[in-house]
Amino acid sequence: MSTLIRPEISKKRSEWISKHRYYELKHFCLQYPEWKAKVIEKTYLKGNSIIKSVDKQIEYLNPTLDMIESIDVYQRNMEIVEAACEAADLEFYGYLLEAVTKGVSWDYLKYVKGMPCGRSKFYKAYRKVFWNLDKLKES
């Protein structure tokens, strides 16, 4: 179930990004549920320090630290997507987040979820999410 939005809009529009950048950002957003699951999974795992011999050198591995670092990366990515949705339209934040992270269409959000928003207003905010995301990921 994906949105039927055109991947590229007129270059005259303020929220223009290239077609390929749009697809890159869209696929970045579609990883959100995976990141969320990995954060939950890694939060409940426990690790201890391990000593490993590599080429006659002793290397101390700390799986707990590695786990915390990977959780941090996933959470940072999730925060970027959430911030882009918030900046696009705070009123429809939850609907936008669901649309960009699960690939659901306006029709689904309108008729199943009861979103109180017209198609053109929603897709304008939807495009703005990717424009915001492009700016957030640049920095």
Kindly give the confidence (pLDDT) of every residue in the chain, 139 residues in length, as a single tens digit, with 9 standing for 90 and above.
Answer: 455 555 555 555 666 788 888 999 999 999 999 999 999 888 776 544 444 545 555 556 677 777 788 889 999 999 999 999 999 999 999 999 999 999 999 999 999 999 998 999 999 999 999 999 999 988 5
Residue 124 CA: distances (Å) to CA of 8, 10, 131: 13, 13, 11
Tokens, residue 57: 């050198």
Phi, psi of 53 (to 5 degrees): -95, 120
* pLDDT for res 1: 45
The answer to whether the predicted template modeling score (pTM) of the entire model surpasses 0.85 is no
The span from the first CA to the last CA of the chain, in angstroms, equals 31
Instruction: Write the DSSP symbol of residue 57.
Output: E
* pLDDT for res 115: 93
* pLDDT for res 48: 45
